Structure 1
Amino acid sequence: MLKTICKILVRVLIVAALGYAAACGYLYSQQDKILFPGNHTPADFKYSFDIPFEEVWIEVDGAKLHGLYYPAQIEEPKGIILFFHGNAERSQQFGESADVFTSRGYDYFIPDYRGYGKSTGKVTSEAQFLADIDRIYEWARTKYPENKIVFAGRSMGAVPAAYLASKHQPKVTVMIASFYDVAAMKDIRYPFLPDFLLNYEFPNNKWIAESKSPIYLVHGTEDKTVPYEHSLRLSPLAKAPHKHFSVPGAGHNNLQDFPIYHQILYHILKLDEPA
């Protein structure tokens, strides 16, 4: 009887060990796809918006990044907003809201990462991704000095915003629904797996502490994808002027449905609210 029980326990342990090893292997090998699943747009797709726009191409190592650029609708623009989208989105989704910024004096540029929109290639490492972000910033600097550039991003897009803010001194940085770092997100989905399996860090916590320009964090209190607590942890790390804004009742993908969210953005960017 005892021998039978021992055999069963050994088998259970073997199955558990194999399952754990498989989970570790999956996380280690699939991180690129987990973090950047891609959202491609056909190369011949014709965009159509109610306001003027341009398609912009930026050469990067081994690929071309594509983005949509909406020039300000005034003669002397206040600057440019670099908006970085989430990892399930693409630039064309934000065209309908571009008028909010261009009509109030800002150029508005939404680049697509590799594998998103019309951008070619795919993201394969943190270093590659951040190098691409540096190139996007260089493109923006051909148009404006850094103190007239706004870094903004939501969810995964808050990563490039925080990264650039740690290296430069923009007019302001806006981090929307941002996570603490990749390890903290891993703990939500795979809490039983060790951090050393991670090939990506995306340390928003480190970058926000290194930023020297004003930083604003905006987060929905009912966000189930990136918990609200993440931005609450990030906010006190900032040494530069900063403020945390809550959007009561908002989740991860419906912030735009809450009037207070738009009021917060108008306040941060010092825009007149629409009549």
Structure 2
Amino acid sequence: MTVFSASVSPAQRRIHLALWVLGLVLLLPACAGVDTWQREKIYRPTALQNDAEKQVLQAANPDVSVLRVPSGSSGEWVEVLQVPALGSPSRDIRVLYLHGTFRHAYQNLPKTLPMRRAGMAVWLPDYRGWGGSSPRLPDEPGIHDDAWVVWQFLQAQGPRDPSVRWVIYGHSMGTAVATRLAARLKGTNGYCALVLESGFTSFSDLAQASVGWVGRALVGMGSQRMAASEDITGVHGPVWFLHGSQDTTVPMAQGRRLYDMAPPPKFWRDWPLGHSNLHTDTTGSYDQAWRDIATSCL
């Protein structure tokens, strides 16, 4: 997820954003599109352009199955990728992978490899607006709705098997989506672990950490909050926090703040890596974290 571009210096970003905020404040009485503008800038969804592009991706990933789940208005849908565990796992542990902004599910497949090596199959939904899902400009309620609809759909597939265990995983913006879903499931024994990678407390807090009060003001002018801090106390553990100490998109301090708010049992792991590349860790410790998560579900 990238809420604000990192291609210019922090000082330049503050100046640019100050000018944007001033312009928006002046235009606000005559402009009903501020929220639309914010959604375009924050989410930047990557959609598949046509069937040919989808066929190329499917051919390149022959182990991927595709599900289509009805969501939203009549005729709308969420496309879900399903990838199997690697090896011969002794237990059926499954991951619901809730991705962040920009990249669609196919682009997130490399990040599933440590999960799959740990013996877990993975389901990756594309919220409406991303990938092969229904085209639309995303908004926060719709993203949360899509995660909930997919969860319900997956739980309804076949006879209820009590031996199946679910991990809810979110990356970046997806940590707020995962936290909301987990809080909604508290008390149901629906999941065995909540995993939050590159997490933050809210869009507003993240914007302020990135560019100061101007960023908070800019986010505050719209309706997109993604405030995991409002839901984290309502989840049950174990909660795993994974973060890169070199993350310049979501500073690690944001993840630590969310960790401090979470109920026990909770675990923190960090690596000297960035925002979306923890799976490239060459020490084996990232893979080990996923094996530990799987073990906690036994």
Question: Are the structure 2 counterparts of residues 245 and 64 from structure 1 closer, same or farther at C-alpha, using a change threshold of 3 Å?
Answer: same
**2-structure distance, mates of 1:53, 1:242:** 32
Does residue 265 (structure 1) correspond to residue 290 (structure 2)? The answer is yes
Q: Which residue of 2 aligns with 1:226?
A: 250
CA deviation string 1:142-168 (max 9, x = no partner):
246697111001111112211111111
Percent identical residues:
20
CA deviation string 1:27-72 (max 9, x = no partner):
6441211221111113412113566321110111132111211234
Question: Are the structure 2 counterparts of residues 19 and 92 from structure 1 closer, same or farther at C-alpha, using a change threshold of 3 Å?
Answer: closer
Q: Which residue of 2 aligns with 1:22?
A: 23
Q: Which amino acid aligns with 1:270?
A: T
TM-score normalised to structure 2 length = 0.75
For these two proteins, the number of residue pairs brought into alignment is 254
Q: What stretches of structure 2 of length at least 5 have no aligned partner?
A: 1-17
Does residue 115 (structure 1) correspond to residue 129 (structure 2)? The answer is yes
Question: Are the structure 2 counterparts of residues 84 and 136 from structure 1 closer, same or farther at C-alpha, using a change threshold of 3 Å?
Answer: same
**1:183–1:198 contact (8 Å) kept in structure 2:** no
Q: Which residue of 2 aligns with 1:65?
A: 78
**1-structure distance, mates of 2:72, 2:61:** 33
**1-structure distance, mates of 2:46, 2:273:** 24
Does residue 161 (structure 1) correspond to residue 178 (structure 2)? The answer is yes
Q: How does 1:69-80 map to 2 (within 5 A)?
A: 69-72=82-85, 74=88, 77-80=91-94
Does residue 93 (structure 1) correspond to residue 107 (structure 2)? The answer is yes
Match of 1:214 among 238, 243, 247: 238
Q: Which amino acid aligns with 1:186?
A: A
Q: Which amino acid aligns with 2:98?
A: F
Match of 1:245 among 261, 265, 269: 269
TM-score normalised to structure 1 length = 0.81
**2-structure distance, mates of 1:77, 1:42:** 38
Which structure has more RCO (C-alpha within 8 Å, separation ≥ 6)? 2
**2:128–2:138 contact (8 Å) kept in structure 1:** no
After TM superposition, give the deviation of residue 77 of structure 1 in Å.
4.8
